[in-house]
Amino acid sequence: MTRTYILLVATAIISACSTPQKNTDNTAKNYTPVYKELYKTIARIDSILFDAFNNQDLNKQKSIFSTDIEFYHDKGGVTNYNQIIENTQRLINQNLGLRRILIPGSLEVYPIKDYGAIEIGTHQFCHQENGKDDCGTFKFVHIWQKKNGIWKLTRVISYDH
């Protein structure tokens, strides 16, 4: 074997060994936020949004949503602001005890130049059924816009249901 061939094989093996492996426990193990302040900001807003969701505070949720929000759901299709509000109100009225839990370590945040940020993660939605928690774990992408110093959620993609 030539020295070049051995070097190419060694490089391929090293690259294969250093490639992040498929994540089987829903955490972003190889992610370290580059923009730490942006990460903290989006994580804080995410927490506020879903504290409002978990506490059935629809007015607080409305204050975080952009009025031109679009929600893309792999099973449910596309909904707009008014439909999201109606659907959320229906969930509140059903009083299922629905709550959202962000999977620890799954949150990733990336800037969008001159717009805002992309938030990617995995979360779990649980509700009580027959006296037990019934939970599903799903992936999401949120697009946040910062306008006049205020962050609004403009796009939601919910998938892997």
- Report which residue type is found at 64: I
Q: What SS3 class is residue 156?
A: strand
**Which uninterrupted H or E stretch holds 83?**
helix 81-94
**23, 29 in Cβ contact below 8 A?**
yes
State pTM to two decimals: 0.80
Look at the chain and count its residues. 161
Q: What is the mean pLDDT of residues 106-114?
A: 98
Mean of per-residue pLDDT scores for the chain: 85
HSE-up of residue 35 (Cα within 13 Å, Cβ side): 15
* Residue 35 in this model has a pLDDT that exceeds 80: yes
* Residue 146 in this model has a pLDDT that exceeds 60: yes
pLDDT at 19: 30
Place of tokens 């990460």: 39
Measured at the alpha carbon of residue 24, what is the angle toward residues 49 and 108, in degrees to the nearest 5?
Answer: 35
Tokens of 45: 């807003």
